[in-house]
Structure 1
């Protein structure tokens, strides 16, 4: 049995939460600063990867899939300009 796309995202979020909890434990244990910084870098990378996956799915299902059977259930009907503006806003927030 394969996991649904939502289940895969949820699993990734739980792993990231575990990594963040690990950083807290490392701080409590007064671990070496560079080790903690390495773990922070790993969390950033995992979050970036998750963000790219979500952005890709948004483009596939909410932008390109608008009006088709691939459209996300929660997607709002928008004009092409509104969709473009939404993508620009999402990208600018994600890339900060």
Structure 2
């Protein structure tokens, strides 16, 4: 055993561990994608249920505010009369 044996053994172990992580990425990404699809469906149903309980005029007003906000160029703070639909007024 030479003086560099310890370093070579550590390099082999770390390399093997990194190889295992690299080859497992596909399986991990597929698992996360399936979980995200489940959560997306759940969140869409919750949003639809919550929106159905609100007055339709209010929902349309909010959707118009969001459409205007998203269509505005950046920086949005410099545009007069533009209301941020995602912020709450200071109490």
Question: For the superposition of Structure 1 and Structure 2, which TM-score range results when normalised by the shorter chain?
Answer: 0.3 to 0.5
> What TM-score comes out, normalization by structure 1 length?
0.35
> What TM-score comes out, normalization by structure 2 length?
0.36
